[in-house]
Chains A and B, each alone.
Chain A
Amino acid sequence: MNLPESTRIAVRGLSGNRLRSGLTMLGILIGVGSVIVLVAVGNGSSLAVQKQIEGLGTNTLVVFSSRGGGGRAFGGGAGGGGRATNGTQSSATQLTMKDVTALGDKTQAPDLVAIAPVITEAAVTATYAGATYTPGQFVGTNSDYLSIRNYTVAEGAAFTADDVTNRNRVALLGQTVVTNLFGSQDPIGATVQFSGIDFHVGGVLTPKGSNGQQDQDDIVITPITAVQDTLAGANAPLSQITIEARSRGVMTAAADEVTTVLLGTHHLTDATNADFQVLNQATLLSTASSTNSVFTVLLGAVAAISLLVGGIGVMNIMLVTVTERTREIGIRKAIGARRSDILGQFLVEAVLLSLLGGVLGVIGGLIGSRFRIVGVTPVVAWYSVGLAFGVAVVVGLFFGLYPANRAASMRPIEALRHE
């Protein structure tokens, strides 16, 4: 008997018991669907972290003061993380403009191309024409910051090195801040009060969107000197120093140069006692992606177990079917069905169950992956679709084999006598 014939008989067998076939397929559907969705979630979160780190610039080094409340690499200091409040700390433990100047020495640190000192201010309230808004980040820095962080100016102009030198109170606004303060009005040239201090709006940043955790457009960037003059105070320590290395290839060398220079300015000899931390984005990226791939594999494994359970469901239902149709098997054998015919019929039936369940599971999985799940936008990994579907079919074959073989080895007289 050929495959189309077996398939025809199998389809009739399956449609004879629609609810049962449907429920069995549901088992496979859930297995396949959850493999696809969960791997997509793992994959999506991995890509989000990667994007987030890349959004900070992949050839970027960030220096924090170890004791000054630094270490907020991803939060960007929204809570004002860099500011020392502990009066007993010596000034040497803080990052200062002296450090920035020292890092600018090309002979000591040849791999650094741009250095931006950063002061972040917490809870700065912006007011304009009666509208108030608290930006997620309020950053005082120099003109290099934009290029290091991959920000560009959409309207107006960025502030210049002259603006920094002249302590001009200009501000660049992120799109989120503009929307909240100005609505649809043109903000360029307007004067906004930040915690009571007047700043002139010089430009609007090109939207970067979310990096998965944080709205990168909820930001105000101003010259560091203006912040020191007003909100932070003249001797305020730096929250961090953001540095761009020459290329991704020299990240380690650049980090070593930064450490050497800063140990010098902080009068330290031993790197283990350093009162600062140098964060290498490239290292973060690889650490994060390896953590994430473990996470993805774990999710996939959990889902694969449900696929196995679905397979056991197939076997269970096939055993019931074979018992139920013992008499039919006897009839078929009496009129000339060979062992292989019966084996084929039930095997095709089992595989058909898992195949249809698999197809529906793929559809379900792809639909499910279109929704945000626990804050992660799933990204379908195509290998998981093929793998889940293939495994489903193999599971059907494997778990169908035993019941089909049982049917095939029945003796015709006994099968015919079965009530």
Chain B
Amino acid sequence: MRRPLLALEHVEKRYDAGEISVVALREVNLAVTRGEYVAVMGASGSGKSTLMNILGCLDLPSRGKYILAGTDVRLLDDTDLAAVRNRMIGFVFQSFNLIPRTSALRNVELPMVYAGVKPRERAERARVALEMVGLANRAGHKPSELSGGQQQRVAVARAIVTDPAIVLADEPTGNLDTTSSGEMLDLLDRLHESGRTIVVITHEPDVAMRASRVVRLSDGRIVSDEYQTPRAAVRSGSV
């Protein structure tokens, strides 16, 4: 087996709310290698959002280790974590999370703004990313002028523009209609085919079907971890 791109070892996450302490994740071990397309499934309250936050370096485990591309994330301070999120992780959220009143192009440029990329190069790369998601002609539109599906594609463009190690998608189709969902999943398939590592958090079997590996969470524990043959083209019939 190749050296994993990211590895969770004995990860536990507990939230202290006064007297009561809630354990959201316990004894989670997960290794993802480069190029994998992993779906994390589970009912609400199963701990999948917590897992997503930890994988995305938005939160740190209470116990255990998280090694991302050879770095133990627990040893990083706030500034370094920001840099890790900036360079290694591309987020796609359920509610799109674009900056309002800001053009699609500027939204896609944003991660590079924080990375300190020069304006000219930034615009160029953002254009390429928008082209990749099929929205080159919408570059000047503000989020409010785009449909949900288009907004989510802008978000994908923003996620991949820095060429991150993994793309983390949290219920990416949760706010989309069937047609847009299909398009979104096709887009993720294409990203996977081009060699990207993708982790999708979802509770929809339709979404999980596209992945090459499905991890099921229940009550904060991994209850199953299976490889499968992705069934992309079969469903939507288009790429």
Structural contact, B97 and A416, CB atoms closer than 8 A = yes
Complex Cα spacing A328 to B101, Å: 11
Complex Cα spacing A16 to B87, Å: 29
Contacting residues of chain B (46-64) with chain A, CB-CB under 8 angstroms: 53, 56, 58-59
List the B side residues contacting A274 at CB < 8 Å.
Answer: none
List the B side residues contacting A16 at CB < 8 Å.
Answer: 101
Of the stretches A22-30, A334-342, A365-373, the one at the interface is A334-342
Interface residues of A (CB under 8 A from B): 1-2, 5, 12, 16, 327-328, 330-341, 412-413, 416
List the B side residues contacting A334 at CB < 8 Å.
Answer: 56, 58, 85, 91, 97
Interface residue tally of chain B, by bracket?
20 to 34
Structural contact, A413 and B113, CB atoms closer than 8 A = no
Asked whether B146 is an interface residue with its Cβ less than 8 Å from the other chain, the reply is no
Which residue of B has the minimal Cβ distance to A415? B58
Instruction: Give 6 new A-B contacts, CB below 8 A, not counting A2-B116, A12-B102.
Output: A327-B97, A331-B97, A335-B110, A336-B87, A337-B114, A339-B82
Can you name 10 A-B residue pairings with CB atoms under 8 Å?
A331-B99, A333-B82, A334-B58, A334-B85, A336-B114, A336-B115, A336-B162, A412-B58, A413-B53, A413-B59
Which residue of A has the minimal Cβ distance to B96? A331
Structural contact, A413 and B58, CB atoms closer than 8 A = yes
Which residue of A has the minimal Cβ distance to B88? A336
Query: Residue among A327, A334, A335, A412 with the most chain B CB within 10 A?
Result: A335
Complex Cα spacing A338 to B162, Å: 16
Structural contact, A341 and B102, CB atoms closer than 8 A = no
Asked whether B100 is an interface residue with its Cβ less than 8 Å from the other chain, the reply is yes
- Mask, B91-124, CB within 8 Å of A = 1, is 1010001111110000000110111100000000
Structural contact, A336 and B85, CB atoms closer than 8 A = yes
Structural contact, A12 and B114, CB atoms closer than 8 A = no
Interface SS of chain A: helix, strand, loop or mixed?
helix
List the A side residues contacting B238 at CB < 8 Å.
Answer: none
* A342 to B: closest C-beta gap in Å: 10
- Mask, B126-158, CB within 8 Å of A = 1, is 000000000000000000000000000000001
Structural contact, B111 and A335, CB atoms closer than 8 A = yes
List the B side residues contacting A332 at CB < 8 Å.
Answer: 99, 110, 114
Asked whether B79 is an interface residue with its Cβ less than 8 Å from the other chain, the reply is yes
Structural contact, A338 and B114, CB atoms closer than 8 A = yes
Which residue of A has the minimal Cβ distance to B90? A335
Complex Cα spacing A131 to B101, Å: 75
Asked whether B197 is an interface residue with its Cβ less than 8 Å from the other chain, the reply is no
Which residue of B has the minimal Cβ distance to A338? B82
Structural contact, A338 and B102, CB atoms closer than 8 A = no
Complex Cα spacing A330 to B53, Å: 12
Structural contact, A335 and B158, CB atoms closer than 8 A = yes
* B90 to A: closest C-beta gap in Å: 8
List the A side residues contacting B86 at CB < 8 Å.
Answer: 335-336
Complex Cα spacing A16 to B142, Å: 13
Complex Cα spacing A319 to B142, Å: 25
* B20 to A: closest C-beta gap in Å: 19
Structural contact, A336 and B111, CB atoms closer than 8 A = yes
Complex Cα spacing A328 to B162, Å: 20
Which residue of A has the minimal Cβ distance to B98? A331
**The 5 nearest A-B residue pairs measured at CB:** A336-B86, A338-B82, A336-B114, A335-B111, A331-B97
Query: Residue among A2, A12, A330, A338 with the most chain B CB within 10 A?
Result: A338
Structural contact, B85 and A335, CB atoms closer than 8 A = yes
List the A side residues contacting B113 at CB < 8 Å.
Answer: 1, 5
Complex Cα spacing A330 to B101, Å: 16
Asked whether B226 is an interface residue with its Cβ less than 8 Å from the other chain, the reply is no
Structural contact, A335 and B91, CB atoms closer than 8 A = yes
List the B side residues contacting A336 at CB < 8 Å.
Answer: 82-83, 85-87, 111, 114-115, 162
